[in-house]
A and B are shown apart, each in its own frame.
Chain A
Amino acid sequence: MTWLTLRQFRLSAISVAALLTVVAAVLVVVGRPIASPEPPGLTPDYSTYYYMAIIALYLLPAIIGAFWGAPMISREVENGTHRLVWNQSVTRTRWLLNKMGIGALAAVVAMGLLSVLVMWWSSPIDTIATENGPAGLPIAPMVFGARGVVPLAYAIFAFALGITASALLRRTVPAIAVTLVVFTAFQVMTLNLVRPNLIPPVRETHHFASGTSLFHYAGSESPYQLRVPDPTHSWVLEQQTVDRAGNPVQFPAWFGGCVFPDVSTDNLGARRTPETAEESVKRRDECFDRLNAEGYQQLVSHHPNSRFWALQGAESAFYLVLAALLAWFALRWTRRRIS
């Protein structure tokens, strides 16, 4: 059985190997980047390759799912060869398990090679990464999915997803399309809904202080938002103003007028003398003091960078469990529903 699996897998494996060789050749020829913590930190050229390497790591799982997983059963059904191969003395369950096992192993190897290659190339940048550049922290959403072990889990998941689509649809092109769409949608969904909550985020409450707290537009439109400085070396999920009881609230109504009073006219509409810088600072201090006195606080939830490996482990486990469920379903469906 293994002989047949390898023989049928040969072309797909060579294609991906060629792709990896090209990526490796480009990165080696370009050479590891020279990066310094001081501005400008990274030349635009290196920056381009850095982001392309990250994109390559996101693309390979999709390629594995679409071109290794999705044709696996559908191509046999389209050619009618499932009726040849499933009528030898090997059950279809064993046939599919063998193909899944070898494919998953190859996916891990391919993904591992690319991952190690990119991490080797990017390490000069990764070591000087901060929240303000020149590159993202490992915990930052975009970098996180292209570092550590999660790319391997993505590849296994995409592969299992491709096989499931293949068994359900029994046609190769739709199976490839569905695999790509579902995989992409799933990655976006996981990033926004699952990853923040895999481990409960750190939740801290901060008092406001006129020196550091900000009161500004969220984006270009009102309403205004109160913010405290983001924790350093962290993936910040949310900042929310809360009242004394801890309920999420808007800033109090008086606050806007306190910080930004109409200073040009007094209550009777007469012109005022402009306040001095000292007066202005004093007034702002009083506004924030009143805010603290009324019990308003800022709740910040975030994942510090030190949680990188914990989150990597949790997310990998999440993807692998889903991959196992998909594989189980595909096996069952293939055994019962395809003729």
Chain B
Amino acid sequence: MTAVLRARGLGKRYRQQWALSDCALDIPAGRVVGLVGPNGAGKSTLLSLAAGMNTPTTGEIEVCGGKPGSGPDQLAKVGFVAQDTPTYPGLTIAEHLRLGAALNPRWDAALARKRVERLGLDPKKRAGQLSGGQRAQLALTIGIAKRPELLLLDEPVAALDPLARRGFLQDLMETVAEQGVSVVLSSHLVTDVERVCDYLITLVSSRVVLAGDIEDLLAAHHRLTGPRRDPATLPADQHVITASHTDRQTTLLVRAESPIIDPAWTVGKVGLEDLVLAYLESPDAATPRPALEVLR
């Protein structure tokens, strides 16, 4: 398994504020990675660092085997669709494609043209006249036709209405399947991620609290319901993420390496959204400790 993105001790500070700290990640190639977390958790910072728009304050990051932003070859390997999908309002769609062709040696003109046709966009139209969804599609087209090894998308659907959102993600999935490109997609909505991603990274307060294959993450977490009980009495390999108690009953969300065999518990599955929310709520998520490496 080769890592398309590898970070060690990665941190970024803006003036006094740490936007990202002590981040360790290994993102395998060929995955569609969802990067979730509340606003201001450091998602954009991580993507910026990966694209080479920013330089880290501490630690190091390696993307597609190179230092981000280190030269034209490195830039060619990484596609970045920034937040709010910026385009030049005064340039037409055709001129945007010409821009992509002029600035990228591996530019796939046929792919770009076909995508624009398929989306029903008029090449003569200026980007300033496009709707938010169309602009996002244009930015994505430039990112994809560049033929990168890794495509970074920073909240690409945040400004879109639910229909345009679904259309965009659907289209992204099809393209990714055709091109075999690795994708990291950030969103503050777990539902977006659930729809298209197979790998999840959760950032809370500038730290990575959860990272792994979504299926494995779901398999390793359980909701336990049973008679009231002190969570401290659980076996050592069961790690409590959240606990809630009523007079008689205790409900726990635990991460466990081995099957739950205690007959006192009713074991339930955890949905992805609940799992992410549990980590966002969990008090120790914000305390400095190594990120949970669920998978080895």
**Residue from the list B53, B95, B104 in contact with A89, Cβ < 8 A:** B104
B96 to chain A, nearest CB (A): 9
Kindly state the separation between the CA atoms of A80 and B53 in the bound complex, as whole angstroms.
12
Interface residue tally on A, bucketed by range: 20 to 34
B274 to chain A, nearest CB (A): 34
User: Contacts A7-B91, A84-B142 hold; do A89 and B103 have CB atoms under 8 A apart?
Assistant: yes
Kindly state the separation between the CA atoms of A85 and B142 in the bound complex, as whole angstroms.
10
B136 to chain A, nearest CB (A): 12
Chain B residues near A90 (CB-CB < 8 A) = 72, 75, 103
In the complex, which residues 100-148 of chain B have their Cβ closer than 8 Å to any Cβ of chain A? 100, 102-106, 139, 142, 146
A-B pairs, top 9 by smallest CB distance, nearest first, are A88-B103, A80-B86, A83-B82, A89-B76, A87-B80, A339-B54, A89-B104, A339-B53, A89-B75
Please determine whether B53 and A87 come into contact, CB atoms closer than 8 angstroms. Answer: yes
Please determine whether B105 and A84 come into contact, CB atoms closer than 8 angstroms. Answer: no
B71 at interface by CB-CB < 8 Å? yes
B99 at interface by CB-CB < 8 Å? yes
A336 at interface by CB-CB < 8 Å? yes
Nearest A residue to B99, CB-CB: A4
Please determine whether B99 and A88 come into contact, CB atoms closer than 8 angstroms. Answer: yes
Q: Give the interface of A toward B (CB within 8 A).
A: 1, 3-4, 7-8, 79-81, 83-91, 94, 336, 339
In the complex, which residues 63-103 of chain B have their Cβ closer than 8 Å to any Cβ of chain A? 69, 71-73, 75-76, 78-80, 82-84, 86-89, 91, 95, 98-100, 102-103
Chain A residues near B75 (CB-CB < 8 A) = 87-91
Name the residue in B72, B78, B91, B102 with the highest tally of chain A Cβ atoms < 10 Å from its Cβ: B102
Give the number of A-B contacts (CB < 8 Å): 69
Nearest B residue to A2, CB-CB: B102
Known: A80-B84, A87-B53. 18 other contacts (CB 8 A): A1-B102, A3-B102, A79-B86, A79-B88, A81-B86, A81-B88, A83-B80, A84-B86, A87-B51, A87-B78, A87-B82, A88-B100, A89-B73, A89-B106, A89-B146, A90-B103, A91-B69, A94-B72
User: Contacts A1-B102, A88-B99 hold; do A79 and B146 have CB atoms under 8 A apart?
Assistant: no
Kindly state the separation between the CA atoms of A112 and B105 in the bound complex, as whole angstroms.
37
B55 at interface by CB-CB < 8 Å? yes
A334 to chain B, nearest CB (A): 12
Kindly state the separation between the CA atoms of A94 and B72 in the bound complex, as whole angstroms.
10
Name the residue in A86, A88, A94 with the highest tally of chain B Cβ atoms < 10 Å from its Cβ: A88
A86 to chain B, nearest CB (A): 7
- A to B CB contacts below 8 Å, 13 in the list: A80-B84, A81-B86, A81-B87, A87-B75, A87-B82, A88-B100, A88-B103, A88-B142, A89-B105, A90-B72, A91-B71, A336-B55, A339-B54
B242 at interface by CB-CB < 8 Å? no
Kindly state the separation between the CA atoms of A90 and B102 in the bound complex, as whole angstroms.
10
Kindly state the separation between the CA atoms of A14 and B99 in the bound complex, as whole angstroms.
21
Chain A residues near B84 (CB-CB < 8 A) = 80
Q: Give the interface of B toward A (CB within 8 A).
A: 48, 51, 53-55, 69, 71-73, 75-76, 78-80, 82-84, 86-89, 91, 95, 98-100, 102-106, 139, 142, 146
Please determine whether B98 and A3 come into contact, CB atoms closer than 8 angstroms. Answer: yes
Name the residue in A7, A8, A84 with the highest tally of chain B Cβ atoms < 10 Å from its Cβ: A84
User: Contacts A84-B142, A87-B75, A339-B48 hold; do A4 and B86 have CB atoms under 8 A apart?
Assistant: no
A77 to chain B, nearest CB (A): 10
Please determine whether A84 and B82 come into contact, CB atoms closer than 8 angstroms. Answer: yes
Nearest A residue to B76, CB-CB: A89
B163 to chain A, nearest CB (A): 25
Kindly state the separation between the CA atoms of A336 and B55 in the bound complex, as whole angstroms.
8
**Residue from the list B89, B91, B95, B104 in contact with A88, Cβ < 8 A:** B104
A76 to chain B, nearest CB (A): 9
Chain B residues near A3 (CB-CB < 8 A) = 98-99, 102
Nearest A residue to B48, CB-CB: A339
Please determine whether B146 and A88 come into contact, CB atoms closer than 8 angstroms. Answer: yes
Name the residue in B76, B84, B88, B142 with the highest tally of chain A Cβ atoms < 10 Å from its Cβ: B88
Kindly state the separation between the CA atoms of A1 and B105 in the bound complex, as whole angstroms.
12
Nearest B residue to A92, CB-CB: B69
Chain A residues near B95 (CB-CB < 8 A) = 7
A14 to chain B, nearest CB (A): 13
Chain A residues near B98 (CB-CB < 8 A) = 3
A82 to chain B, nearest CB (A): 8
B81 to chain A, nearest CB (A): 8
Kindly state the separation between the CA atoms of A339 and B48 in the bound complex, as whole angstroms.
8
Chain A residues near B73 (CB-CB < 8 A) = 89
Nearest B residue to A11, CB-CB: B90
Chain B residues near A81 (CB-CB < 8 A) = 86-88
Kindly state the separation between the CA atoms of A86 and B54 in the bound complex, as whole angstroms.
12
Chain B residues near A1 (CB-CB < 8 A) = 102-103
Kindly state the separation between the CA atoms of A85 and B102 in the bound complex, as whole angstroms.
11
Name the residue in B80, B100, B103 with the highest tally of chain A Cβ atoms < 10 Å from its Cβ: B103
Kindly state the separation between the CA atoms of A99 and B53 in the bound complex, as whole angstroms.
19
Kindly state the separation between the CA atoms of A4 and B72 in the bound complex, as whole angstroms.
17
Chain A residues near B69 (CB-CB < 8 A) = 91
Kindly state the separation between the CA atoms of A84 and B69 in the bound complex, as whole angstroms.
13
